[in-house]
Amino acid sequence: MLKFSPITLADEKRYIPLYAVCEEKAADYGFANLWCWQDKYHYEAAFADDLCWLRHYENGRPVYNPPIGRWQRPDWRELLWQHFPQGFSFTRVPETLAHILENCFENKITLNEEREHFEYVYSIPELISLNGYRFRNKRKLSNQFKQYYNYIYKDVSEELIPDIKEFQNCWINSPEVREDKDLNMLLSENEAIMRMLNNWQKLSGQIFGGVLIIDNRVMAYALCEKLDEETIAVHFEKASLQYRGAYAAINRITLENAGCNYHFVNREQDLGLAGLRKVKLEYNPVRFVKKYNITGIF
């Protein structure tokens, strides 16, 4: 029987090598992301079978996520029967693992797309250059920001954490946010952001980010995680609405500086929100990390 316990910072050393050998890396399962969303999802881990088995809680019930580790292995039927003899169900399963399990179980498995959890992956060189007609609006906004405002870019450091927290507190309490129909989701996100900032030094070198400073105050920031040697994820990104083009600018300028040695940036899912999906598609993703709900019986 799998023995689950809440994820702690001490699990990072065991988790990172298993995540590194996953054949497809979803931003959902970067260790920093799991840790930051612990207050909302109460993630638990069980280390067994050269895998990290994951689950979280929704409405007080456990929901199983895909196991993390090397997926190309011949013993999936035996493992899943051993741990889930009555059948199994996993949510947000990356496409690579979904098809591996589908091949193992033939007609005894059901796959359903979870479109709201597809992660958007972009070319970093494209998002830095913003060349071409399709990027004209984003290019115009970021260029206007660079032209009109006397800003300073800095990489996120321990010394900047209090200033980022101060900006985030102002952002979450602004009238525009307080009147947002998705306020509850933004409040949960705020807890995750604060959890990352409060543990910045304790998390490994996988996390980094950038800030824009105007008049000695943080006015935009991006918090990122390295997924592999080619790809980073942007987990959190906020900008002041007082400065035109600030969101386009923090996106582009962070990649110009902290992200310039990588090829791809994963900007996570749209959660089925129409406005967010529209924005993410406008940035021209080069691919998706597709995810599925999988149910299987023996």
Domains, the chain, in order of start with CATH, read 5-118+291-296 (3.40.630.30), 119-268 (3.40.630.30)
pLDDT confidence of residue 141: 95
**For residue 93, what pLDDT is reported?**
98
Q: What are phi and psi of 293, to 5 degrees?
A: -95, 130
pLDDT at 108 over 90: no
Q: What is the pLDDT of residue 205?
A: 80
pLDDT at position 288 over 90: yes
The C-alpha angle with vertex 40 and arms to 36 and 41, in degrees rounded to 5, equals 90
Provide mean pLDDT across the span 262-283.
95
Whole-angstrom Cα distance, residue 81 to residue 64?
A: 15
pTM above 0.85, yes or no: yes
- Residue-wise pLDDT for 165-179, tens only, equals 999 999 999 999 999
> What backbone torsions phi and psi does residue 26 show, to the nearest 5 degrees?
-90, 140
What CA–CA distances, in Å, run from 147 to 41, 48, 130, 242, 251? 42, 54, 16, 15, 16
Which structure tokens are listed for 122?
């972009």
- pLDDT > 90? residue 252: yes
Q: What is the pLDDT of residues 69-100, one digit of tens each?
A: 999 999 999 999 999 999 999 999 999 999 99
The dihedral built from the CA positions of residue 244, 224, 36 and 163, taken in this order, carries a sign that is negative
DSSP 286: S
Q: Mean pLDDT over residues 153-160, rounded?
A: 97
The side-by-side arrangement of strands in the sheet containing 88-94 is: 88-94, 291-296, 109-113
Res 204 pLDDT > 80: no
User: Considering the chain, what is the average pLDDT of its residues?
Assistant: 96
pLDDT higher than 90, residue 298: no
> What's the half-sphere exposure (Cβ side, CA atoms, 13 Å) at 166?
11
- Residue among 3, 13, 25 nearest 233 (CA): 25
Give the pairing type, strands 231-239 and 88-94: unpaired
Kindly state the tokens that stand for 244. Answer: 């035109």
Mean per-residue pLDDT, 37-51: 97
Using the 8-state DSSP alphabet, how is residue 23 labeled? Answer: S
